[in-house]
Amino acid sequence: MDTLWTSDAIAAATNGTASADFAVTGVAFDSREVGAGDLFIALQGEATDGHRFLDQAFAQGAGGAIVSRDAAGPHLRVNDTFAALENLARAARARTDAKVIGVTGSVGKTSTKEALFAALDRAAPDTTHRSVKSYNNHTGVPLSLARMPAASRYAVLEMGMNHPGELAHLTTLVRPHVAVVTAIAPAHTEFFPDESAIADAKGEIFQGLEAPDGSKGGVAIVPFDSPHRDRLIAAARPYASRIVTFGMSPEADVRPIETMPVRTGGTFVSAKLGERELSFTVGQPGAHWVSNALAVLAAVDAAGGDLGLAGLALADLGGLQGRGARFMARIGGGDALIIDESYNANPASMAATLAVLGAEPGRHVAVLGEMRELGVNSPTYHADLAEPLVAARVEAALLVGEAMAPLAQALEGQIEFVHVPTAAAALKVLPGMLAPGDAVLVKGSNGVGLSRLVAALAGGIA
């Protein structure tokens, strides 16, 4: 692999002192992810200290480490390893000529980020960089930047938050040329007084916008159909040289002229981008994916990418693990469709994916884990899921987690359901609820642990 950082470049970026000359091909701060040639950054957190895992990192082939105390093996010593990570991120951003796209939103940001990567990678294979997994927080964003090769032509960085002010800081690291807000919805409401406050926090992403020549200004991409559209536009206006809206409305800058379901489950779309038209197929099912695709086209266009190749990439895009991946599981001598949405959940994404389930043939089964970080309105948000469950013609539901109690009460007499406290308890109940030909949605907040159910289904538990 090509060298990503030399010890001299790391020292210059972090103001650290190298124990020896070395070069690395990757960056990691989780010792479990360290591979041959990686730079291991020994972060110190509340729960653990990365310095404890230095021996493990070097045993796994780390090419060097950033530390704040003496260490064996090639290393670079700094006063503060987290500050060093951020400084390395700044240096990575400063040395590249890539078109940088930042993506945030209450729902759809990881899917949109992956679709954007696929679209841009078609035109610039091996020179398009992206955040991996959901590395979108105060450590994940600088790590994703630090991993960016200097020769990248495009970079797509996912940016998340659960408190005001977080994006205002992260966007100064990313300095996006294009900033996308996918949607505003109830998420992390435990930390915000209302949805308007969430919109304000998401709108912080625009504060880092800059033009490709480094001057102030860039392109802000805003969801037209959001009730917070005008609030987001107001947040973008002081920083953006151009604001582009996307959505289903005929007034949006990027909008569908026509949509039509296709036999494979996706959607054929004829879209309008200003005065131009583009026809393409969205491979993933659901109206929310049409919206994601419009945001992708707006961002590709703003970054100077190839719209035709972007359309081809959207047609080929598969589901992500925990975010729409599909597979057939062996159930009682037959097969059942499993839709894996186990990574995350909030009221908006629950409703969207239940609608996708409802469009599938066969008996509909929903395995739903509680939605977390919803604050004092959590009971109402959970109870309100009864309506999309009924609309999706769900015949059986398995509800997981104590916070699902209001939904269980709302479903009495409407849908057959079982309510259990944990994913472990759900694993015992689930096999008896399934039959060949079922379409099964598994969705919940990641902390509920429904990914274990998905893994068990993939392994043939029933």
Which residues are part of a known binding site? 105-111
Specify the residue for token string 């604050």.
375
Cα separation, 303 vs 297, whole angstroms: 10
Residue (of 420, 361, 363, 353) closest to 385 by Cα position: 353
Q: Kind of pairing, strands 254-261 and 23-24?
A: unpaired
Kindly state the tokens that stand for 136.
Answer: 């979108």
Q: What is the CB neighbour count within 10 angstroms for residue 55?
A: 13
Question: 57 vs 27, 131, 147, CA distance in Å?
Answer: 11, 22, 17
Q: Cα(22)–Cα(65) distance, rounded to whole angstroms?
A: 10
Kindly state the tokens that stand for 271.
């879209």
- Separation of CA 174 from chain center: 16
Taking a C-beta distance cutoff of 8 angstroms, is the pair 291, 248 a contact? yes
Rounded to the nearest 5 degrees, what angle is found at the Cα of 378, between the Cα atoms of 376 and 382?
160
Q: By the 8 A CB rule, do 293 and 282 touch?
A: yes
Which amino acids are annotated as binding site for ATP, given as ranges?
A: 105-111
| Positive or negative torsion for Cα 139, 29, 27, 134 | negative
Please report which helix (H) or strand (E) contains residue 282, including its range. Answer: strand 276-282
Composition of the chain by helix, strand, coil, percent to 5: 40, 25, 35
Helix (H, G, I), strand (E, B) or coil at 258: strand
Tokens of 160: 């998340």
Q: Which residue type is seen at 173?
A: L
CA R_g for the chain: 23
For residue 266, count CB atoms less than 10 angstroms from its CB and return exposed for 0-12, middle for 13-18, buried for 19 or more: buried
